[in-house]
Structure 1
Amino acid sequence: MADFMSDIIARAAETPRRIGLSEVESPDVLRLAQRIVETEIGVPVLVGDAAASRAVAAEAGVSTEGFEYVDNADEAVVSAIVERYTAAYDDFSQKACTRRAKDNLLCAMLLLKLGDVDGVASGKECPTGDVVAAAMGIVGLAEGVASPSSLGIAEIPGFEGPQGEFLGLADCAITVQPGVEELAGIAIASADTAATLLGWEPRVALLSFSTMGSAQHESLETVRAAVERVHELRPDLKCDGELQLDAAIMPAVAEHKVKRPSEVAGRANILIFPNLHAGNIGVKLVQIFGHANAYGPVLQGFAKPVCDFSRSAPVDEMLGNVAMLVVRAAAQEAGE
Structure 2
Amino acid sequence: MELLKNFKEKAASDLQKIVFAEGEDERIIKAAEIIKKEGIAEIVILGNLNKIEEIAAGKDINLEGLTIIDPEKSDYISEFREEFYELRKHKGISKADAEKMIKDPLYFGTMMIYTDKAAGMVAGADNPTGNVLRPAFQIIKTKADISTVSSAIILLLKDKSFGEDGIITFADCAVNPTPNSEQLAEIAQSTAETVEDLLGFEAKTAMLSFSTMGSARHENVTNVQEAVKIAHSKFPDLKVDGEMQADAALVESVGVRKAPESEIAGRANVLIFPDLQSSNIGVKLAQRLAKADSIGPILQGLAAPINDLSRGCSVEEIVNLTAITAIQAQNH
TM-score class normalised by the smaller sequence:
over 0.9
Matched residues in 2 for 1:277 and 1:186: separation? 15
Using a 3 Å threshold, how does the CA distance of structure 1 residues 182 and 100 change in structure 2: closer, same or farther? same
1:239 offset after TM fit, Å? Answer: 0.3
Name the SS of the counterpart of 2:226 in structure 1: helix
Matched residues in 2 for 1:10 and 1:58: separation? 29
Matches within 5 A, 1:75-224: 76-83=75-82, 93-224=94-225
Counterpart of 1:312? Answer: 312
Matched residues in 2 for 1:17 and 1:87: separation? 27
1:133 offset after TM fit, Å? Answer: 2.1
Paired AA for residue 129 in structure 2: T
User: Gaps spanning 5+ residues in structure 1: where?
Assistant: none
Q: Is the 8 A contact 2:84 2:102 kept in 1?
A: no
1:93 offset after TM fit, Å? Answer: 4.7
Using a 3 Å threshold, how does the CA distance of structure 1 residues 161 and 113 change in structure 2: closer, same or farther? same
Paired AA for residue 198 in structure 1: L
Counterpart of 1:66? Answer: 65
> Aligned pair 1:33/2:49, yes or no?
no
Paired AA for residue 313 in structure 2: A
1:75 offset after TM fit, Å? Answer: 6.3
> Aligned pair 1:57/2:56, yes or no?
yes
Q: Is the 8 A contact 2:163 2:270 kept in 1?
A: no
Counterpart of 2:303? Answer: 303
Name the SS of the counterpart of 1:214 in structure 2: coil
Name the SS of the counterpart of 2:243 in structure 1: strand
Q: Is the 8 A contact 1:70 1:77 kept in 2?
A: no
Name the SS of the counterpart of 1:45 in structure 2: strand
Q: Is the 8 A contact 1:71 1:77 kept in 2?
A: no
Matched residues in 2 for 1:253 and 1:21: separation? 46
Paired AA for residue 248 in structure 2: A
Counterpart of 1:328? Answer: 328
Q: CA RMSD in A?
A: 1.6
1:19 offset after TM fit, Å? Answer: 0.4
Name the SS of the counterpart of 1:205 in structure 2: strand
1:37 offset after TM fit, Å? Answer: 0.5
Counterpart of 1:20? Answer: 19
Counterpart of 1:4? Answer: 3
Instruction: Tell me the alpha carbon deviations over residues 154-212 of structure 1, each in whole angstroms, 9 at most, x when there is no partner.
Output: 00111413510110100111100001111111100000110111112011000000000
Counterpart of 2:254? Answer: 253
Q: Is the 8 A contact 1:209 1:244 kept in 2?
A: yes
Paired AA for residue 325 in structure 1: T
Q: Is the 8 A contact 2:163 2:250 kept in 1?
A: no
Matched residues in 2 for 1:65 and 1:181: separation? 47
Matched residues in 2 for 1:128 and 1:318: separation? 15
Matched residues in 2 for 1:163 and 1:90: separation? 48
- TM-score, length of structure 2 as denominator length: 0.95
- TM-score, length of structure 1 as denominator length: 0.94
1:134 offset after TM fit, Å? Answer: 2.5
Counterpart of 2:229? Answer: 228
Q: Is the 8 A contact 1:85 1:114 kept in 2?
A: no
Matched residues in 1 for 2:84 and 2:227: separation? 37
Report the more deviating stretch, 236-245 or 71-80.
71-80
